[in-house]
Amino acid sequence: MSETSPATPARAAEPDAQAMSTPETLANIFFEPGRTFEALRARPRFLVAALVSIVAFMAFYVTYYQRVGYEAIVDSEIEIARKADPNVNEEALAAGARIQKGAIVKNIRLWSPAIAIAVVFAAGAGLYLLGASLMGGKLSYKQALAVWVYSSFPTLILMTILNFVLLFLKPPEDGAEIVQGAQRGLVRANAGALVDGTAHPFLATALGSIDLLVFYGLFLAAVGLQKVGKLKSGPAWTVVLALWGIRVIAMLVISAVTGRAM
């Protein structure tokens, strides 16, 4: 008994050995993702990181609307649609513009991204839970949610900061260019930035899917599934790349059908 008793408290304390506060997890995910995810396995926090992500994105989104001007954004979107399809019905475009400029649609467009991000977090966690389970991993939905949110957090924050910089480097007079860029992200660490998305939407979408920032997020997700879901490297990457591949295929199909770069 004397030999085993001291080990019991040691095992009980083991989950807390890598414990981090929420501010520490938010900072360390950038520099020590492995250790951060180990801490999140024991204490799968996600709410603060999710809220910071949503607030950061919405800060950029609202600033984008204010700097460019909502009506100017709608007019630029109409012009982009006209260039994409020279045979487009002008009456339909005009009617669409009137609807888009209405107060109800304006407010829906302004605030709906916050809801969309929350839905993506919730659905993505479910996909990670399913994928990890199929690969023999063991994690709860709350742990899967922590993996999804924290693997998305660094890329979203970095992209938001860079988007702010680029938004203020572009004068508001370049409305059409800014709008077209914002539809695919002002920051594009991929070869899709070299392709005219209006003239070659499918090619721009394909090249844009191979993005350095996106792969940074995929790397973090794979690390998270390994540390939190107790998966080996191969199965973890299989889950992450499979979901990324499905997303890319869906974007390519939408681009082919709509004739717009995604």
Q: Please check whether residue 106 is in contact with residue 73, taking contact to mean a CB–CB distance below 8 angstroms.
A: no
Query: How distant, in Å, are the alpha carbons of 2, 109, 141, 195, 239 from that of 246?
Result: 56, 26, 21, 23, 11
Question: Please, how many CA atoms are within 13 Å of residue 228, restricted to the half-sphere of its CB?
Answer: 34
Query: Which residue from 223, 44, 235 is spatially nearest to 133, judged by alpha carbons?
Result: 235
Q: Which two tokens stand for residue 75?
A: 């007019």
pLDDT in the model for residue 5: 42
pLDDT of the chain, 262 residues: tens digit per residue: 444 444 444 334 344 446 889 999 999 999 999 999 999 999 999 999 999 999 999 998 888 888 888 888 888 777 777 776 667 777 777 787 888 888 888 888 888 989 999 999 999 999 999 999 999 988 999 999 999 999 999 999 998 898 888 878 866 655 555 555 555 556 666 676 677 766 777 787 788 788 888 899 999 999 999 999 999 999 999 999 999 999 999 988 988 887 777 6
Position 12 scores a pLDDT of 42
131-171 tens-digit pLDDT:
999 999 889 999 999 999 999 999 999 988 988 888 788 66
Determine the residue type at 237: W
Contacts of range 76-83, beta carbons closer than 8 Å, 24 or more positions apart: 76/175, 76/176, 76/178, 76/179, 76/180, 77/179, 79/176, 80/176, 80/179, 80/180, 80/183, 80/198, 83/198
Among all chains, which residue has been given the structure tokens 């501010």?
A: 23
Taking only the tens place, the pLDDT of each residue in 222-258 is 999 999 999 999 999 999 999 999 999 998 898 888 7
